[in-house]
Chains A and B, each alone.
Chain A
Amino acid sequence: MLAVLGLIVGIGVGFLVEPNLPTFLQPYLPIAIVAALDAILGATRGWLEGVFSDRVFVVSFLSNVLIAGLIVFVGDQIGVGSQLSNGVIVVLGIRIFNNVAAIRRVILHA
Chain B
Amino acid sequence: MPEPKPSADLWRSFLKPGRGQLVVGAMLCITALLVVWTIRSQAAKPDYSNLRRSELVQLLDNLTAETRRLESEVRELTTTRDELRSGVAGAKEADDEASRRLDRLKILAGTVPAHGPGVRIVIQDPQSKVTPELLLEALEEMRDAGGEVIEFNDAARVTTGTWIGRDAAGKISVDGVALSAPYRLEVIGDPATLETGARFRGGLVSQVEGSNVQGQVTISQESDVRIDSLAQAEKPRFARPK
Measured CB to CB, the residues of A under 8 A from B are 1-11, 13-15, 19, 21, 26, 29-30, 32-33, 36-37, 39-40, 43, 48-50, 52-54, 57-58, 61, 105-107
Known: A33-B35, A52-B20. A40 touches B27 (CB 8 A): yes
Measured CB to CB, the residues of B under 8 A from A are 1-2, 4-5, 14-15, 17, 19-38, 40-41, 44
Q: Within the complex, which residue of B1, B15, B23, B38 is in contact with A105, where a contact is CB–CB below 8 Å?
A: B1
Chain A's nearest CB lies how many Å from the CB of B229? 88
Are the C-beta atoms of B24 and A57 separated by less than 8 Å? yes
Residues of A close to B23: CB separation below 8 A? 54, 57-58
Chain B's nearest CB lies how many Å from the CB of A66? 13
Chain A's nearest CB lies how many Å from the CB of B97? 70
Are the C-beta atoms of B31 and A19 separated by less than 8 Å? no
CA distance A102 to B119 in the complex (A): 124
Are the C-beta atoms of B31 and A3 separated by less than 8 Å? no
Besides A10-B36, A50-B2, A57-B24, 15 other CB < 8 A contacts? A2-B24, A3-B28, A6-B32, A7-B32, A10-B28, A13-B33, A14-B32, A14-B35, A15-B36, A19-B41, A21-B38, A33-B34, A36-B27, A48-B4, A57-B27
Closest to B20 in A: A54
Chain A's nearest CB lies how many Å from the CB of B6? 12
CA distance A53 to B20 in the complex (A): 8
Instruction: State the 10 A-B residue pairs at the shortest beta-carbon distance, nearest first.
Output: A14-B36, A6-B25, A10-B32, A54-B20, A10-B29, A6-B29, A2-B25, A19-B37, A2-B21, A2-B17
CA distance A60 to B14 in the complex (A): 23
- Name 30 A/B residue pairs within 8 A (Cβ), A-sorted: A1-B14, A2-B22, A3-B21, A4-B25, A6-B28, A10-B28, A10-B31, A11-B36, A13-B33, A14-B33, A14-B35, A14-B37, A15-B40, A19-B41, A21-B37, A29-B37, A29-B41, A33-B31, A37-B31, A39-B27, A43-B24, A49-B1, A50-B2, A50-B5, A52-B20, A54-B24, A57-B24, A58-B23, A61-B27, A106-B1
Residues of A close to B25: CB separation below 8 A? 2-7
Closest to B24 in A: A3
Are the C-beta atoms of B29 and A30 separated by less than 8 Å? no
Closest to A43 in B: B24
CA distance A3 to B15 in the complex (A): 11
Closest to A35 in B: B31
Q: Within the complex, which residue of A9, A19, A37, A39 is in contact with B29, where a contact is CB–CB below 8 Å?
A: A9
Residues of A close to B44: CB separation below 8 A? 19
Chain A's nearest CB lies how many Å from the CB of B210? 112
Chain A's nearest CB lies how many Å from the CB of B193? 91
Best-surrounded residue of B15, B20, B22, B26 (most CB of chain A within 10 A):
B20
Closest to B14 in A: A1
Chain A's nearest CB lies how many Å from the CB of B51? 14
Best-surrounded residue of A5, A19, A40 (most CB of chain B within 10 A):
A19
